[in-house]
A and B are shown apart, each in its own frame.
Chain A
Amino acid sequence: MIHSLFLINASGDIFLEKHWKSVVSRSVCDYFFEALERATEPENVPPVIPTPHHYLINVLRHRIYFVAVIQSEVPPLFVIEFLHRVVDTFQDYFGVCTEAAIKDNVVVVYELLEEMLDNGFPLATESNILKELIKPPTILRTVVNTITGSTNVGEQLPTGQLSVVPWRRTGVKYTNNEAYFDVVEEIDAIIDKSGSTITAEIQGVIDACVKLTGMPDLTLSFMNPRLLDDVSFHPCVRFKRWEAERILSFIPPDGNFRLLSYHVSSQNLVAIPVYVKHNISFREGSSQGRFELTLGPKQTMGKAVESVLVSSQLPRGVLNANLNPSQGTYTFDPVTKLLSWDVGKINPQKLPSLKGSMSLQTGASKPDENPTINIQFKIQQLAISGLKVNRLDMYGEKYKPFKGIKYMTKAGKFQVRT
């Protein structure tokens, strides 16, 4: 299915290639470079590019293009999903997935890619199995390997590959048994000029970090499972139990994993935690524009809105901005026209504001459009949908684990039109 893989950095250099069948010349990437040139932004490269003899399917993550070469019909999502899984694995192994990290760990990278695909068909993509096959690099191991000439290939054979719970490695042992769950909700919203909500929805995930000895069997139940409208599970979750009892019952993978992602039913009104007052105007004939922005909390259930970051793409005609933030710092890039304001925490007593003027190109007419404002924020200890975990139980093992649940609300794609 997947014939070859090329890794291409932001400046258009192929810095790694891997072939699972015969070798495909790297000149096939010329078609990709053509598409890259045509695209105005790096994100605008079409994900599927046909060439006379091959098809190129690419994903862009961490400013690296992962370009897969395909020879015949295959569901494109199959390849895209796999490429993202490769990136996730690299991130899991090296902490970050950058060109430097990949080059530093080139041996492990090849070993991983070799195990992940056999003849172009995915073989082992579960992180738990891969980690048994190929040990993640540590400083100590790198030193030992250099001296002894050994590799990261695991000494033990991955028996998990053969089991009915392929996502969990066997023989897990911890002195401290812990299970942490993060309920993270993101609000996607478009707010119009007047401040009314055009569309808003809540998407949530439950990320878990489970470090438990043996083969624990966990059940997690919610106070209000009805909120969850549409869910997708990690393969470990027993679907039937969810259908019948609305309980998440699973034997967890070892380590970090995403247990569940969900969508909160659209019947519920979405609470919008921040509001924006804005006045961005340009006058005809004048080379000055006015910029005023004030942020305030709204429907935050008494929690503080933190890590607020405002960004906006100003019209092309704007030469520079001379603004005055009441708190935080702002930057304006005169080349990309990107304004970003790192606000920090919103103090309800003293609302943060950013006021000042923009200088426009002289003689140019006033821009037609007003910029959209993108907002990022975080609210700790709050799931904005009201979702609450009821309890977590463990069966199958005898020790008492330490359990923890954390809630957080974040802005997803939160846009305010002006």
Chain B
Amino acid sequence: QIQSSIFNQRKAHSPGHVCKNILHVPVSGLLFGPWFLCRNEDLKEMLESNKESLKLEAMKRIVGLIAKGKNASELFPAVVKNVASKNIEDPNQLIRASALRVLSSIRVPIIVPIMMLAIKEAATDLSPYVRKTAAHAIQKLYSLDPDQKEHLIEVIEKLLKDKSTLVAGSVVMAFEEVCPDRIDLIHKNYRKLCNLLVDVEEWGQVVIIHMLTRYARTQFVSPWREDAVFDENSAKAFYDSEEERRVDQSKPYIMDPDHRLLLRNTKPLLQSRNTAVVMAVSQLYWHLAPKHELSIITKSLVRLLRSHREVQYIVLQNIATMSIQRKGMFEPFMKSFYVRSTDATHIKTLKLEILTNLANEANISTILREFQTYVKSQDKAFAAATIQAIGCCATNISEVTDTCLNGLVLLLSNRDETVVAESVVVIKKLLQTQPSQHSDIIKHMAKLFDNITVPMARASILWLMGEYCEHVPKIAPDVLRKMAKTFTDEEDIVKLQIVNLAAKLYLTNSKQTKLLTQYILNLGKYDQNYDIRDRTRFIRQLIVPNEKSGALSKYARRILMAPKPAPVLQSAFKDRDRFQLGTLSHTLNSQASGYLELSDWPAVAPDQSVRNVEVVEPVRLPCIYLQKNGNAVKVESRSESESGSESSSSESSSESGSELDSDSDSGTDQKKNTKPKPVQSKPFDAVSWPVCVSLQASSPVFVPETSHELLHRMTGKGLSAQYRFTRQPCIYGNSMVSLQLTLSNSTDQALENIHISEKSSTGQNIHRFNAIERLEPQASVTVSMGVDFNDSTQAANFQLCTKEDEFSVSIQPAVGELLLPITMSEADFTKEQGKLVGMNESSATITMTPENVSSQSVNRKVVSVANLGVIPSGQENIYRFSGKTVSSGSLVLVSVVLKDPDAVITINTEKTVMGSMLLRQVKTALTNSGP
């Protein structure tokens, strides 16, 4: 009885039924044939089949069915039988991954133990892609059965140590879902995550950056000056870097190198095409960077404003929050926030908010001029919002209060009611700050009162009259008189203010208004609205003294006429950065479920050494090949990019030319060269996967002095060139062979501008030497260059140019120069050799000349032919040499076994072509006598 709740929900629907519902169109059965063919029996059959592609497709369809909530429980036995048991061990990593995806999508409680096993298994899989799938499955199992938490955390802990960029994003996602509070799991992986970040896929980057932001806030001390004041007007202090430096000196703050590492490694991601990544980095800088470094995120955020409307909305919200605290950041980009008539309303409002935040004494006149255009906008809601914004500017910047007030008063005669109403409300707020100077404005408003119909505006004017009736002693009673006439027709908020006005006038000017007040109070007493009846009763008791009225009426004047503080016009985005920027909670301004609080900086930094990774002896196994069903399944040749060569390796072992293969390899290598490769530069730390391997190049044993002619002086019209192989790792790129070029001028004139033309006739990637401006007669100069031969002995052809001439030249490398020496132990050598057998082995028996038999001589002969490292040997008659190819880093093992008078030379490498060429050369070297 295997059923889960989701299966039940949709059980009633047949697939066709659902399709029709969804589509609202009559569906032709033929067109959707494939969809309907996937009946359970067919799927079962497909699962049983021997063809991988059929199985894969069946599994994809099952995942699809389950995701749509259909009942797939019938398929459960078939899936477990064919997928769980068989495919999880399939030699193809994509099948293994799919199998796990299907298994983990079956949301049936009974499957939990099987799933747990499968996840544990997959988490130690050799394929990073399968491990990625395992990380995804963790979340699925956790939502199915939260009791598995502890076991899952163990798997997460293991996967966090993974060095693959494919896994990093997914496992951090699982971490965030299952155990976000287990910060301790991050310590040891912190530096690795920082270093991998650039190469992680974009979605993973977002998750990792958000997690690291939280992590950093618990581990490092604040980089912000403690005495800094971050109120609205601190922009000046912010820019005053000299002052900042002085303060810094008095109170030295040294940033933790790990803190700096995070900031440095996230910065390039500001250039990402993915807006979520850019936002994630921006919020990281906002929450973690020293304030004076914040400005680098500005441009990127402004760039995002060019993106889709929805992106603009989120980015503007975050800018609004930032701009309250740091106007300086965005002030230079003020014009980017100018409103266009085609913007959506919520975009317009946000831009207005930001412009208001950015306003200061220097730019206010520009902003106000811009606002004037907005007030005339056809979008009346936006015009009203602009008036609010003008009000805000007027209160924030006292210099312009009068200008703004006058402008708003002009708007009172606007034809549009919403505009007028909003102006009245804003003027009311403004007048509260300085009423005495503005009695003429109050008079003006009283004059306009008859034409204003919006209740809120009328109520506001009445309140103003009452509050400042002493400034307009003649007009106020007259307004009350008019109101008494229309009381019954007014809206409730207006009625309340009429009662209010009456009460205030009664207290200040009872002679003129006593009767009017009584009349209004009587009207209010019988009003239909109980609020008004209540208020009337209360006011009457308060202001009209009688026996029953208690002590309160003595204080009536002080209660009603108390000085009232002016309202503070403040931004809706003030203090919104209590939520981490860029989050859903920030957008909603309320805590979303699952929101993880950003902690305050610790006063004292916790132990920094927790992030140190203990250095373990580098694992000396250069390669591990996993034999399954007789096929080479996996080659993990490099520590950080396990993937690249995997898929092609099985082919390359059988391929003779392997031209294509080496091309793709070089491509990935070049890609790596340009990216930071921190993992390689550091000694290896605890290795969780036995597959990680270092092929560290060691220094060459022997560097031949011989140089080869590149250009003869006769053909070169006096310019001659020679090259020699330096046998050193090339500084221009890891897949390049390093060359030294000696150029001499045998003419009697100076040669100018000697360089290599950028046109390369063959495909090799060449790092040219810098052009030599001038070569004096009889002088010579030595320069270095790098050529990526792609592990092939094909000549590199290029043009050597002078100011006048071009000479076609070519460099033909000997196979031995395409190698770099590596060191390993004898045991490792034998182990590796055992794996590179069959196609990968080539050997020959030769008769040695007697003078070559000494160990010194064998060693010298071999290393002069090929750039190999010598492995100290325990046996007297066996010599071993090891190296790797420069471009693809494939292992090359050479052994010479002396069996007097014969010698057996064996070469093991997956680069079979290179192997046989090398064999020929070693053979020649060892049979020839001479030095």
Contact = CB atoms under 8 A, between A and B. Distances in A.
A233 B271 CA distance: 6
B791 to A, nearest CB: 13
Contact of A369 (B308, B377, B664, B765): B377
Given A78-B206, A163-B643, A114 B335 contact: no
A239 B271 contact: yes
B565 interface: no
Contacts of A82: 203, 276
Contacts of A349: none
Interface string B340-364: 1110111000000000000000000
Contact of A73 (B133, B583, B674): B583
B63 interface: yes
Nearest to B640: A164
B120 interface: no
Given A46-B313, A80-B311, A157-B94, A190 B340 contact: yes
B136 A19 contact: no
Contacts of A371: 378
Given A231-B271, A396-B765, A251 B671 contact: yes
A54 to B, nearest CB: 10
A166 B201 contact: yes
Interface stretch (B24-32, B448-456, B682-690, B838-846): B24-32
Interface in B690-711: none
B170 to A, nearest CB: 7
A371 B593 CA distance: 45
Given A110-B64, A263-B303, A398-B762, A369 B129 contact: no
Contact of A145 (B24, B33, B104, B415): B33
A72 B588 CA distance: 12
B308 A84 contact: yes
A55 B668 contact: no
A335 interface: no
Which of B23, B33, B136, B414 has the largest number of chain A CB atoms within 10 A?
B33
Contact of B584 (A61, A76, A145): A76
Contacts of B308: 59, 61, 80, 84
Given A369-B376, A372-B341, A230 B24 contact: no
A46 B30 CA distance: 41
Contacts of A74: 584
A13 to B, nearest CB: 7
Interface in A68-114: 70-78, 80-82, 84, 103, 106-107, 110-111, 114
Given A59-B308, A231-B271, A369-B378, A155 B53 contact: yes
A350 B644 CA distance: 62
Contacts of B416: 368
A161 B129 contact: yes
Interface in B745-791: 758, 760, 762-765, 790
Contact of B314 (A76, A315, A365, A370): A76
Interface in A339-365: 365
Contacts of A164: 165, 199, 641, 643-644, 668, 671-672
Contacts of B310: 47, 57-60, 80, 84
A313 B378 contact: yes
B127 A18 contact: no
Interface string A255-266: 000100101000
B378 A215 contact: no
B592 A73 contact: yes
A261 B273 contact: yes
Contact of A75 (B63, B280, B668, B763): B280
A231 B271 CA distance: 6
A61 B308 CA distance: 9
Interface stretch (A119-127, A286-294, A378-386): A119-127
Nearest to A167: B201
Given A72-B594, A240-B674, A313-B378, A396 B763 contact: yes
Interface residues of B, number: 127
A244 B675 CA distance: 12
B677 to A, nearest CB: 11
Contacts of A369: 376-378
Nearest to A117: B67
Interface in A148-186: 149-151, 153, 155, 157-159, 161-166, 170
Interface string B628-661: 0000000000000101101100000000000010
A87 B903 CA distance: 67
A107 B273 contact: no
Contacts of A22: 5-6, 69, 107
Contact of B136 (A21, A119, A239): A119
A232 B273 contact: yes
Nearest to B659: A398
Given A80-B308, A368-B416, A71 B593 contact: yes
Interface in A172-231: 188, 190, 198-199, 201, 203, 214-215, 217, 229-231
A71 B340 CA distance: 34
Contacts of B889: none
B346 A44 contact: yes
A272 B140 CA distance: 56
Contacts of A397: 663, 763
Interface in A13-32: 13-23
A149 B342 contact: no
Interface string A233-251: 1110011110100000101
Interface string B572-600: 00000000001111011010111110000
Given A217-B670, A316-B378, 13 more contacts: A17-B22, A50-B592, A55-B588, A75-B583, A80-B308, A164-B672, A217-B667, A234-B273, A235-B202, A235-B272, A313-B341, A368-B414, A395-B765
17 contacts: A23-B69, A47-B309, A48-B588, A50-B592, A77-B311, A111-B60, A119-B139, A199-B335, A215-B666, A215-B667, A230-B299, A238-B674, A240-B675, A241-B674, A263-B306, A313-B341, A391-B758
- Smallest CB-CB A-B distances: 3 pairs: A72-B594, A238-B674, A199-B335
Interface of A: 1, 13-23, 40-41, 43-44, 46-48, 50, 55, 57-61, 70-78, 80-82, 84, 103, 106-107, 110-111, 114, 118-119, 121-123, 125, 142, 145-146, 149-151, 153, 155, 157-159, 161-166, 170, 188, 190, 198-199, 201, 203, 214-215, 217, 229-235, 238-241, 243, 249, 251, 258, 261, 263, 313, 315-316, 365, 368-372, 374, 391, 393, 395-398, 413, 415, 417
